[in-house]
Structures are given as C-alpha cells and as structure tokens.
Structure 1
Amino acid sequence: MLARILWAFFAVALPLAGAAQSESSAQRSGASITAHNLGADHFAAGRSIRVVQPVAGDLIAAGGKVDVDATVNGDAVLAGGDVRISGAVNNSLYSGGGQVTLDGTVGRNVRIGGGRVEIGPKAIVTGNVSIGGGEVRIDGTVKGYVQAAGRRVLVNGPVGGDVVATSGAIELGPNARIAGKLRYASRSELKRDPAAQVTGGVERAPIADRSYGHTQRTLGRVGGWLWTVGLVLIAVVLVAALPAFTVRVAATLHMRVGMSLLIGFVALVCIPVAAILLLFTLIGIPLALLALVLYFALLLVGYAMTGIGIGDWLLRRYRVADASRVGWRIGAAALAMLAIALLARVPWIGALVSFMVLIAGLGALVMQARQANSAAT
C-alpha cells in the first residue's frame, strides 16, 4: 500500500527518475560520479564533482566536493562539503556547504548558507547577496545589496547598495566601498579600517535582551529534542510495520548512494513546483493540496529511511547474524537516528548533514516506489 501511495505521489517526478536511470557513471579522482543531462539542464552527484563543460541550462549538483569551472547559462544549485565556483553563472547562485567559495561571476543574485563563506576578490555579483554562515568574508564586487549573518562578517570590497549585517563581530576592511547605508546588529563595536568608505552612513540596531534570548534558546533545545524523538519513533514504526519494504529501500540506498542523492534532490525541488502549478487549474486544486500534505509527510519518512539504512548497514557489518531480525533493526535504526540528530547540531556542518540525510532517503524512496509499481504492473 505504501509503495502505491509513494508511486502516485511521485508521478510528477518519476519521468525525471526514469530518465536518470540511463545516467553515465565515471571514475574520476577515485570517486564515483553520477551525471545526467535532462534537456539543457545538468544534474550531478558524487563524492567529488568538477564541472568543466559549459551548461546550457541550470546546474544542480551535490557531493562531498563540488567545483564549477565552467559557464552556467541558467541557475546553479550546489550543495557539498566544499563548494567552489570559479566559472560564470549567468542567472542566480544557490548554495549550501561546509565551505563555499565564489571566485567567478554571477549575473543575478547569490544566496548562500555555510560554515565558511567567501566571496573572493575576483568575484562579481550583478544582483544582491544573502549569506548565512559561521565565517563570512566579502572581498569581491556586489552591485546590489548585501544581507549577512554569522559569527564574524568582514566586508572588504565594493557594494552598490545597503549592507545589513547581524553578527558577533563585524569588520570593514580597507577596500570596503559601501554606496548605501551600513545597518548592523552586534554586541561588539564595529571594527572599521580608516580607508573604508560608507556613503549612506552607519546605523547600529539594538540587541535583544539576553534573558529573552536564553529562554528562546532553551525552548529551541527542548523542541529540537522532541523533534528528534518524533523522528526516532517514525523510524521504529516503519521498521516494525513494514520490515520488507524498509529492507528494500535501505538496500537501494546502500547500492546507489549517488543516484539516491540526485533523485532525492530532484524530487525535493520538483514536487512542490508541480503542486503549485496544479493550483492554477480548477480540477487540480484538491490534488495539489493533497500532494502538499503528503509531501511534508514523506519528507519525514525519507529522513527516517536514511537512519534505517545506516542502522541496517551497521548490523550487516558488525552483527550479521542479527541483521534480519526486526528487533535488532529497530534498535539500530533508533541509534542511527540519534547519531544523525547529534551530527545535525554540530555548527557549520549540521545543516549539510541534515540536507544530505533528507535527499538520500527521499531518493531511495522514489526509486523503490518506481520498482514496486513496475513489478505490480
């Protein structure tokens, strides 16, 4: 039953999944890479990815290391532990990673989240920049506004609009040339080089009361652990209620990690877009609303499936005799979900861990649903 629900829900994304079954896999730098062109767009997933050929449409890539040294005519959506862009992105750049470095040009806007984010001195952004990270450094040229939040924010290049920053420490380097206003919120005083220029003036915003912030953080921690307990329960229920199905999904995840990441990313992006398009048709409104509800439910299932897959892998590696026993699988899945929750709380890399866990499980679900439907028909 669950397989048929998944198949019906992912019907919009499955043409992409089916097309990607004919992907090209190559061994580059000792790592397996899965790459596929769909129309003018290019999709890639793997441990180490380097894009050196021009992309006529959009580029979507996820991996441990992602290097873009070519021209992307559309948007670039990149996720990885270490992401570097030295080519030209003609539209907008969206990226998340442990470290994200931009040394190329972007024709529109830049939206980045990461542990350490650098916009190098050779970078030119025609539009606006929004950055959230632990360490944020802007040495390149931004023709629009800049929004930045992080533990430390340094602006040391020309900015055509306003700069709005929230940080523990904010600095203006000698090459800072801000045409608009600098508005910042920080518990530390602004560090400004005498050569830095701010045409629109500097405005400091008040900081929220410490006790209120402490209360909010406490509530956030409690809510985070309640959320973790909920995910553990989802994993336990899935293994207990659907042992055979979860074994198949876990096997798909183990055997095709790169493909699971790629298909999961496609499903994550395309399904809500398809649901929104259905809202514009009168007959499709009920289906669109149902799809959105199921979408969020299946995101939770996909996240939990990665924990189940990790638990099964650990059992097969260290407890082979118990790998097929439901009780042991439940315990291993619960421990794996707790480990994922702890990693997700690590600064800088936590968001990347959560993202990779989500798309990996989601992709394995999509592929297993397709296989189940093919077998049924």
Structure 2
Amino acid sequence: MLSLHTTISKMRIGMLLVCLSFCLSISPAYSASSQLQTSEAGNTYISGSDLVIATPVAADLFAAGGRVSVEREVGADAAVAGGSVTIRAPVRQDLRAAGGHVDIEGNTDGELVAAGGNVRVGEAAVVAGSAWLAGGDVTVAGKIGKGVRIYAGNIAISGEIDGDAHLYGQQIKLLPGAIIRGGLFYASPNELIRDPSAQVLGALTHEPTPPEWSKEHGPRTMSWFHPFFVLSMLAAGMLLYVLFPAAALGPQRAIRQYPLRSLLLGLALVFTIPPVAILFMVTVIGLPIGFALLLLYPLSLMLGYLATAFLIGRQVATAAKQPEPASLKRYALFLLLALIVLSIAAAIPFLGGIVMIAAVVLGLGGWAVWIQTTYHGARAAHE
C-alpha cells in the first residue's frame, strides 16, 4: 500500500515540478519588470523576477517568478511557483504552490498542495480541505481541516489536524501543541519524536519502512559521486560552450520561448526513443539505426540535463543582475551553481528522481525545438 501511495505522490510531485519549470521558463529572463494578463473570465496570469500581488484577484491566479508574494485575496484557485513563495492572503478555493521556499500564512478554503525545499504552514493559516505536502523540510504550525499527507526529509507538526495524518520521512516530530484528531500513520527509519503534550486522538500506526530508507541504503544523500558528477557535467558543458556556443545557448532560449512545446517534445523523446530503437533492431535493415539510437540515447539525456542547467545558470545570473553576454569564467561559475542546485535538489527524499527526470525532459525538448526552429529558419532563408 505504501508503494502505491509513493508512486502516486511522485506523479503529483512531478506535475508540480514540471509546472514550476514551465512557469520559471516563461518568466522574463532579462528584465525585472513583470508581465500581467487578465482573461475574459477574470483569471490573472503574471510573471516576473519579483512579484507582489497587491490587488485582489477576482478569479484564478497563475503566478511565477523569482520571488512571489500574494498579499491580497484570490477569489478562486491559485497556482504559484517561484524561488520563494509566500501566501499571506486568503485563497477561496484550492491552492497549488511550488518553490525553493514555500510559506503559507493565509487561509485556504479548498485543498492545499505544496512542494519545495522548505514548506511551512504558518500558525495563522487554516486549510479547510485536505493538504498534500512534500519537500526537504515540512512544518505544519497551522490548522488543516480534512487530513494531511506529507513526504519529506524532516517533518515537524505543532498545529492541529482534523482527520488522519499520513507522514513519511526520515525524521518525524510531534511538537508541543500538536493535535491530530484522527489516526497517525507514519513510516520512518528513525523513532518518532513526540512531545508529551502532543495529542493523537486516533490510532497510532507505524507502517513498514521501505528497505531503501534504511541508514545503509537511505534516500539520496550527498556522497563522493555527486562532486564527481557535478565536475564531469561542468567539464562537458564548458566544452560544449567553447566548441559550439550556439548549441549551448540555443536550447535554453528555445525553452524560454516555447516552454510547452519543449515539454511535450521532451516527454515524447524520452519515452519513445528506446521502443523505437528496439523496433528498428528487430528488422535486419533497421539494425544499425536501432543500435545508433540506443548508443545516442544516453548522450541525448546528458545534453538535455545540460540544457536545463544552462537555463538555470542564466536565471541565476539574471537574478544576480549580471549582464549578457557574460565571460567564459562567468558562464562556468553560473553553470557550476546550477549543477550544484540540481544536485542538492536530487538529494531531497522523494523529490530527487523527479527533479532529474524533469530536468532531462525539459532540456531534451529544448534541444528538439531549437533544432526544429533552426532548420525551418535556414530553409526559409534559402528559399
């Protein structure tokens, strides 16, 4: 049963991360100004490097940027993504949030789904529906009305939960003031830390801990492999930039210009190349093509990962107000920072594999779009 919940959770995390990558890619890469659009239905779409939602939103809100703060009421659903996300105002329906740091201070009248490096439901926050939270560190100090499911490295509960709590993490703490009015179901390789004043009114069930969570084979942690991998990717990325600068920069620009097309093409390529190669290999004529596709497949995955790393590095440089074009040393520095960010994200329990997949998919799609647009442009110029 736990494996099924874990599979479902990974799918939902993947969707959040893909949405986050999509939103970040459409935010302005070279300007601190924001872009605002309002549909006929009253929905608001806004992106920028530093966003403050200071006026009420009548219907749905879709916001993405480096830092996003929602200060006024959202009349319907809200989907927010950014490096730092703060929700201080009420959301009258469901709230979806993803980012490096997610802080929920306002009320949510529907469900809450949030994922990030750090996720916090503040003391003043009241979630009327259920909550689904995932990240490196997750803290619940407010009130959740219809149960919660949390997947994280460290989980701390000091608020109130009406309904069952399903907690899966490395370290789980029930702090003073914690009240769970339903059952507590948890899985962890470590003992539950429970303050004497913490209340669990329902059943307390310690679910079997998956073998991969054991201390010998725990969730992804930083090890000797990660520095080697980061340095290898850095060397490959800089070699690509020096020898083929257009190929190093083109895919990241394609992702920013055509994020949805990049995402769809990336998904198609990642999951269709292996079966297509096998189909070629079952025929005598297509055997060389099949072998070639299988040999090139790992290279394509690496190039996809590098494309996303270049994009993140460019976003970091923009946030640091570095001009473009940058020097070779600056490109190396920001690429290194991006690779470190991806490696740290890959070490987060439950999120790591999805982060890697999302990075490869988006980057590979960027390559496909760049090649496609370059080909059509050259063909149009020739004609």
Same-fold status (TM-score > 0.5)? yes
Does residue 98 (structure 1) correspond to residue 100 (structure 2)? The answer is: yes
Match of 1:202 in 2: 204
For the residue of structure 1 that corresponds to 2:326, the secondary structure is helix
Q: Does structure 2 conserve the Cα–Cα contact (< 8 Å) formed by 1:117 and 1:133?
A: yes
CA gap 1:297/1:126 in 2 versus in 1, 3 angstroms: farther
Displacement after TM superposition at 1:86 (Å): 1.0
- Count residues in correspondence: 316
TM-score by length of 1: 0.62
In structure 2, C-alpha distance between the alignment counterparts of 1:41 and 1:295, rounded to whole Å: 33
Displacement after TM superposition at 1:106 (Å): 1.2
Q: Deviation string for 1:182-235 (max 9, x for gaps)?
A: 111223332323332211121112333479774576899999999999999998
Match of 2:280 in 1: none
Match of 2:327 in 1: 318
Q: 1:37 corresponds to which letter in structure 2?
A: T
Displacement after TM superposition at 1:142 (Å): 0.7
Match of 2:293 in 1: none
Q: 2:327 corresponds to which letter in structure 1?
A: Y
Q: Does structure 2 conserve the Cα–Cα contact (< 8 Å) formed by 1:116 and 1:348?
A: no
Match of 2:119 in 1: 117
Q: Does structure 2 conserve the Cα–Cα contact (< 8 Å) formed by 1:134 and 1:348?
A: no
Displacement after TM superposition at 1:84 (Å): 0.6
Displacement after TM superposition at 1:163 (Å): 0.6
TM-score by length of 2: 0.61
Q: 2:33 corresponds to which letter in structure 1?
A: S
Q: Deviation string for 1:249-290 (max 9, x for gaps)?
A: 66x57xxxxx938x63x668xx87xxxxxxxxxxxxxxxxx9
Equivalences for residues 1-377 of structure 1 within 5 A: 31-39=32-40, 40-209=42-211, 214=216, 252=253, 260=256, 264=259, 293=268, 304-307=306-309, 316-318=325-327, 340-347=338-345
Gaps of 5+ in 2: 1-25, 274-299, 315-321
Q: Deviation string for 1:29-62 (max 9, x for gaps)?
A: xx32222223322222222111122223322222
Q: Deviation string for 1:271-319 (max 9, x for gaps)?
A: 87xxxxxxxxxxxxxxxxx9962697899787654555669x9994325
In structure 1, C-alpha distance between the alignment counterparts of 2:58 and 2:374, rounded to whole Å: 32
Match of 2:279 in 1: none
For the residue of structure 1 that corresponds to 2:117, the secondary structure is strand
CA gap 1:159/1:66 in 2 versus in 1, 3 angstroms: same
Q: Does structure 2 conserve the Cα–Cα contact (< 8 Å) formed by 1:185 and 1:207?
A: yes
In structure 2, C-alpha distance between the alignment counterparts of 1:174 and 1:315, rounded to whole Å: 51
Displacement after TM superposition at 1:137 (Å): 1.4
Q: 1:93 corresponds to which letter in structure 2?
A: L
Aligned-residue identity in percent: 27
Q: Does structure 2 conserve the Cα–Cα contact (< 8 Å) formed by 1:41 and 1:59?
A: yes
In structure 2, C-alpha distance between the alignment counterparts of 1:45 and 1:316, rounded to whole Å: 23
CA gap 1:248/1:75 in 2 versus in 1, 3 angstroms: same
In structure 2, C-alpha distance between the alignment counterparts of 1:226 and 1:57, rounded to whole Å: 48
Q: Deviation string for 1:14-37 (max 9, x for gaps)?
A: xxxxxxx9x999x8xxx3222222
Q: Does structure 1 conserve the Cα–Cα contact (< 8 Å) formed by 2:184 and 2:202?
A: yes
Displacement after TM superposition at 1:85 (Å): 0.3
In structure 2, C-alpha distance between the alignment counterparts of 1:227 and 1:57, rounded to whole Å: 45
In structure 1, C-alpha distance between the alignment counterparts of 2:125 and 2:232, rounded to whole Å: 43
In structure 2, C-alpha distance between the alignment counterparts of 1:372 and 1:53, rounded to whole Å: 44
Displacement after TM superposition at 1:342 (Å): 3.4
Q: Does structure 1 conserve the Cα–Cα contact (< 8 Å) formed by 2:251 and 2:366?
A: no
Q: 2:159 corresponds to which letter in structure 1?
A: G
Displacement after TM superposition at 1:139 (Å): 1.4
Tell which has more relative contact order, 1 or 2 (C-alpha 8 A, sep 6+).
Answer: 1
Q: 1:260 corresponds to which letter in structure 2?
A: R
Q: Deviation string for 1:316-342 (max 9, x for gaps)?
A: 43259xxxxxxxxxxx89x98776443
In structure 1, C-alpha distance between the alignment counterparts of 2:178 and 2:220, rounded to whole Å: 38
CA gap 1:198/1:113 in 2 versus in 1, 3 angstroms: same
Match of 1:325 in 2: none
Q: Does structure 2 conserve the Cα–Cα contact (< 8 Å) formed by 1:93 and 1:110?
A: yes
In structure 2, C-alpha distance between the alignment counterparts of 1:164 and 1:62, rounded to whole Å: 29
Question: Greater CA deviation, 35-44 or 133-142?
Answer: 35-44
CA gap 1:339/1:103 in 2 versus in 1, 3 angstroms: closer
